[in-house]
């Protein structure tokens, strides 16, 4: 089973940028797709961005044009570059990975422990 460790969260002012990282270990060869979810206080966890083994990406509408997901296969690491951050982006961000892209989409992959992102106005 793959283990995921996120890093890069923190407190930032609106309009600034942050980059989240998620390193996969354990059984990285079983990872075919990766993604990021987020959960704000009092809200359900929502899918933010995904990337397939072929590099195809998808984004939640509210982050399109501001967030970029990309990966470094040599390091078994996926990143989420977040630009033009807004207070409504405040949430705990979770990395997810699985051998099935579909399982990523329905939230059935492996999870990291989460990293807090707070955007002040």
- Residue pLDDT, tens place only, 45-103: 999 999 998 999 999 999 999 999 999 988 889 999 999 999 999 999 999 999 899 99
Burial label for 8, CB within 10 Å (0-12, 13-18, 19+), is middle
Give the other-Cβ count within 10 Å of 96's Cβ.
Answer: 24
Asked whether residue 117 carries a pLDDT value surpassing 80, the answer given is yes
Indicate if the pLDDT at residue 109 is higher than 90: yes
Whole-number Cα distances in Å, 105 to 8, 18, 86, 87, 102: 23, 24, 24, 25, 5
The dihedral through the CA atoms of 91, 88, 101, 76 has a sign that is negative
Q: Half-sphere exposure (CA, 13 Å, Cβ side) for 61?
A: 0
CA distance 66 to 24: 24
CA distance 72 to 64: 21
pLDDT at 26 (0 to 100): 81
pLDDT at 91: 98
pLDDT at 29 (0 to 100): 62
pLDDT 10s digits, 7-49: 999 999 999 999 999 999 887 666 779 999 999 999 999 999 9
What is the reported pLDDT for 53?
Answer: 87
């Amino acid at each position: 089973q793959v283990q995921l460790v996120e890093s890069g969260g923190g407190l930032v002012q609106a309009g600034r940028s942050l980059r989240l990282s998620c390193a996969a270990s354990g059984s990285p060869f079983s990872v075919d797709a990766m993604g990021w979810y987020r959960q704000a206080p009092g809200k359900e966890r929502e899918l933010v961005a995904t990337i397939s083994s072929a590099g195809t990406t998808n984004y939640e509408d509210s982050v399109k044009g501001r967030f970029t997901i990309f990966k470094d296969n040599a390091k078994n690491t996926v990143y989420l570059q977040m630009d033009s951050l807004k207070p409504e982006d405040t949430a705990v961000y979770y990395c997810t990975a699985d051998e099935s892209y579909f399982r990523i989409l329905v939230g059935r992959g492996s999870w990291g422990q989460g990293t807090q992102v707070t955007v002040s106005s």
